[in-house]
Structure 1
Amino acid sequence: MNNENNTIHGIDVDLICNFFLNTERQGPGSPEATLKALSFIDNLTDQSMIADLGCGTGGQTMNLAQHTPGHITGIDFFPGFIDRFNTNAGKLNLQDRVKGIVGSMDNLHFREEELDLIWCEGAIYNIGFERGLNEWRKYLKTGGYIAVSESAWFTAERPAEIHNFWMEAYSEIDTIPNKVAQIQKAGYIPVATFILPETCWTEHYFAPLAKAREIFIHQHAGNKTVEELIKFQHYEEELYSKYKEFYGYVFFIAKKIEQ
């Protein structure tokens, strides 16, 4: 849930971000999925430069840092996320090589070909899948990797209710083969693709949301906007339960090639 517009589904983005301060992850995922994606990436060293774009509070970033060498920069537009990110890095004694900074994924300040790995779990939708692949490519060294998780259709056809929901929420959602074709067109070799298991939604996303809602309702009793946010989250969970065979999150790992 990292969005750089002013609202998401008509709800103020700052309010949403404050809600997600109470969660370790801001979207579907898990430590196991993060490490599985990492397993397809090689040649990282103590000198490697890694960027986690749309890092949120850094749940996945800390998993990365504990299982790979190199220096990691987390970038998110919401200062509260970055404060929590840096606090978490300090608690894990990772602050010497893991740092969060406030910034925008559509205005990065890395040098060209500076990065060995670009990571982005559930956040590339903020600027669009194809745009992100194309604009971020210049920051990667040749042979460097990009790893992103992105919503995708599992079938060519799907019921109108879930189709219309996603067309409004994120019209760039597409089938997995079409996403892979976009990766190739942008100048990468597809290395691996896998669907995040259902537990990435139920155990690692929806269950923590329920606990976060209890905290937020207590903090914002009577706030109609908060009630709308929670109502939307319940609807999102209902849709997933009803239509999970038609869509989900997919990890895409690719390597930059010369063009």
Structure 2
Amino acid sequence: MTQDKLDLLIDLHQPNPRQGPGGDAQTELALRLTGLDPAAPLTVADIGCGTGAATLALARLLPQAQITAVDFLPPFLTTLQQRNKAAGVADQVTPLAASMSELPFADAQFDLLWSEGAIYNMGFENGVKNWRRFLKPGGVLVASELTWTTNTRPVELQAFWDAAYSEVATAADKIRVLERHGYSPLGYFVLPETCWRDAYYRPLQAGFNDFLCRHGNSEAARALVAEHEQEIALYEANSMYFGYGVYVARRITFPQTSHLFP
């Protein structure tokens, strides 16, 4: 991706409350499935936090937690800090500009790793495998991931996602990945369509005209809007076949004599 396109993407998405599908109610549901004590002084990392929709929800739901909010785009973190301050949770949240594939964390640093709509950037299997060491024994991972919600789907849709993100798979396949890499699944659910349409796509579409005006209706800006409109149309026509699955899994603790996992 060129820097110019990245800058356009930042400008398009930064004003919006979410940079991907999700919802506060679904964040709360996933947190309940972790079984963690919400009143405990937990250590949390929100990886790929964007402008902080999930971070803010977690700070509200976990009032004693210390949250590290990670994104590789500093402008998103600037907006996150502004929202943290407005919500009165700035003392709970530490922003960190870093790549999710090169996280500067210590082994067994966190009780909870959270990633809504972002783990695909390094691949689901690569993410769950490499992030596991940052969890304390018995710590919990929560990640939402593109998932087939039916066993069969149109050939052209399969071909599109195979080309765009080859790791798209059913929930059963994703759970097997978690189990293969030292996790015990605790829960799974699919984000409802409102998390796509109302929470993500409609605010995004509402900003298209202002975005185009800010960039003089340039060819690059129009091409980016067209890409997003194509994505929206793809989801609208095929939402019965795919969505975001939310996966909740605990890091398994093995005896010291085991050499299965670090």
What TM-score comes out, normalization by structure 1 length?
0.93
1:38 aligns with 2:26: no
1:15-94 → structure 2 map (5 Å cutoff)? 15-41=8-34, 42-68=36-62, 69-94=64-89
Which contiguous aligned blocks of 4+ residues in structure 1 show a shift greater than 6 angstroms? none
Contact persistence 1:18–1:80 (CA under 8 A): no
Distance (whole Å) between structure 1 residues aligned to residue 107 and residue 24 of structure 2: 30
Contact persistence 1:28–1:200 (CA under 8 A): yes
Gap runs ≥5 in structure 2: 255-262
User: 1:180-223 deviations in whole A, cap 9, x for unaligned?
Assistant: 11011110110000000010111111111112212211211221
Residue in 2 that maps onto 1:193: 188
Contact persistence 1:44–1:116 (CA under 8 A): no
Q: Identity, % of aligned pairs?
A: 36
Contact persistence 1:46–1:71 (CA under 8 A): no
Q: Secondary structure at the match of 1:33?
A: helix
Distance (whole Å) between structure 1 residues aligned to residue 186 and residue 38 of structure 2: 16
Distance (whole Å) between structure 2 residues aligned to residue 32 and residue 227 of structure 1: 34
Given the superposition, is the C-alpha separation of residues 138 and 45 from structure 1 closer, same or farther in structure 2, using an over 3 Å criterion? farther
What TM-score comes out, normalization by structure 2 length?
0.92
Distance (whole Å) between structure 2 residues aligned to residue 160 and residue 227 of structure 1: 29
Contact persistence 1:117–1:144 (CA under 8 A): yes
Distance (whole Å) between structure 1 residues aligned to residue 141 and residue 60 of structure 2: 19
Residue in 2 that maps onto 1:3: none
Per mean C-alpha deviation after superposition, the further-off stretch among 130-139 and 45-54 is: 45-54
Residue in 1 that maps onto 2:229: 234
Per mean C-alpha deviation after superposition, the further-off stretch among 103-112 and 160-169 is: 160-169
User: 1:120-169 deviations in whole A, cap 9, x for unaligned?
Assistant: 00000011100100100000001110000000011222112221221222
Read off the aligned partner of 1:38 and give its amino acid letter: L
Contact persistence 2:38–2:61 (CA under 8 A): no
Q: Secondary structure at the match of 1:57?
A: coil
Given the superposition, is the C-alpha separation of residues 120 and 45 from structure 1 closer, same or farther in structure 2, using an over 3 Å criterion? same
Residue in 1 that maps onto 2:260: none
1:164-183 → structure 2 map (5 Å cutoff)? 164-183=159-178
Gap runs ≥5 in structure 1: 1-5
Contact persistence 2:107–2:134 (CA under 8 A): yes
Distance (whole Å) between structure 2 residues aligned to residue 110 and residue 46 of structure 1: 21
Residue in 1 that maps onto 2:257: none
1:251 aligns with 2:246: yes
Distance (whole Å) between structure 2 residues aligned to residue 31 and residue 195 of structure 1: 14
- Report which of the two structures shows the higher radius of gyration computed on alpha carbons: 2
- Superposed displacement of residue 14, structure 1: 2.6
